Amino acid sequence: MKRTSWSSGLSVTADGVGVISHAGAIAPRLLADRVGLTVELSKAMTRRRFIPIHDRGRVLIDVAVMLADGGESISDIGVLRHQSEALGPVASAPTVWRTLDEITAGKRKKIQVARARTRRHVWSRLPGGVPASACAGRDLGSTVVLDVDATIVVTHSEKENAAPTYKRTFGYHPIGVWCDNTEEFLAASLRPGNAGSNTAADHIDVLGQAIAQIPAAHRRDLLIRSDGAGASHDLLDWITEQNGIRGRRVEYSVGFSITAPLRRAIAICPEAAWGPALNPSGDIRDGAEVAELTGFLSPRMLAKWPDGMRVIVRRERPHPGAQLSMFEEIDGWRYQAFVTNTATGQLQFLEARHRAHARVEDRIRHAKDTGLGRLPSRE
């Protein structure tokens, strides 16, 4: 009770005396309490025969609130400590460090379970149910869409596991998964800066974590989207294998490189096979067309990939000054391809559905604004 009783009798006003700064930090702290996350984290961090002065679930929530509030180091927890009249007792920086040191591999798994339980509780109470993912003026119904992507987090000193990145910066290259339906950050893996973009093992690991975060009742119909970094045999094989789980359908929409076989297929693809592409609102996009290349690729090439994989390509007239490949210079079109195992649906809609993966860039930006961009913790 003590871990959440701080908000009893709390009210908000825009005037008066004794006002506090960073009042907005109260909202995420209160939200964590109301949805049960604080209590679940406390259970996950429980140790036998150890009763801490500062509840460990409360400490973890306060660290998250501090990061969302703009904190850049563990010592910034002092900003919350200065608001004790409103927030109640807040742990000191040394206590935060001790709490983080207590998080073993076993504790991390329990924290993941705590997050999943809280999410199940919240999703079950969403008015109207889980919102549908939308694209091209239509929604995808009950399908839960998972967008996986990696990003660079720059650090300006040689911190643990930091390394040079492919962008000639220095830091980390975490990979994460976001739920497009609810815009939630489901799972992530912190990797050194020199980690590969298309490392199948990392994609599989973080997607497995993300699926475990989705309530069981909503795992029946999943769509996994990725850019070209996800186009590996191992990842597509793994996604295909997920369809072997009883009561589950998993589709993918993954970017694909324009390789020599695809260039040959584009060259022989008749003009009649091309149809107009759609913009995000569902209207026809001028100067953009879509075609399926699966039937123009050699069976030998397709045999190397999972059964049912379709190859779809988009071509668009480039903006003035855009750099094209030697192949694209021939006819003046810019080409982008993706693969999917979705068996039905208009090509235009499937292509628009894939391009909606770009929304993950906004999710990444928001994550960086609320803590991801300030990894790792430091004194």
Q: In terms of pLDDT, which residue wins out, 379 or 10?
A: 10
- Do 170 and 155 form a contact (C-beta atoms < 8 A)? yes
Can you say whether the dihedral through the CA atoms of 54, 58, 61, 67 is positive or negative?
negative
Q: What residue spans define the domains of the chain?
A: 5-124, 134-367
- Spatial CB neighbours of 291, under 8 Å, sequence gap ≥ 6: 269, 273, 274, 275, 312, 313, 315, 347
Question: % helix / strand / coil in the chain, to the nearest 5?
Answer: 40, 20, 40
Question: Which among 241, 173, 177, 164 has a CA at the least distance from the CA of 203?
Answer: 177
Report pLDDT for 1: 46
Range 81-89, long-range pairs (CB < 8 A, 24+ positions): 83/20, 83/21, 83/22, 83/25, 85/18, 85/20, 86/6, 86/10, 86/20, 86/23, 86/26, 87/6, 87/26, 87/29, 88/5, 88/6, 89/54
Q: How many helices (H) and strands (E) does the chain have?
A: 14, 14
Q: What is the pLDDT of residues 107-164, one digit of tens each?
A: 999 999 999 999 999 999 999 999 999 999 999 999 999 999 999 999 888 888 899 9
User: Of the spans 231-235, 330-334, 335-339, which averages the highest pLDDT?
Assistant: 335-339
Question: Which among 344, 351, 339, 338 has a CA at the least distance from the CA of 290?
Answer: 351
Extract the tokens encoding 130.
Answer: 């889980």
Rounded CA-CA distance 47/229 in Å is 41
CATH number of 134-367: 3.90.350.10
Question: For 308-321, what is the mean pLDDT?
Answer: 93
Question: Which among 316, 311, 315 has a CA at the least distance from the CA of 297?
Answer: 311
pTM score: 0.90
351: part of which helix (H) or strand (E)? helix 347-355
Report pLDDT for 3: 59
Report pLDDT for 375: 73
- Do 235 and 227 form a contact (C-beta atoms < 8 A)? no
Report pLDDT for 198: 79
Report pLDDT for 196: 86
82: part of which helix (H) or strand (E)? none
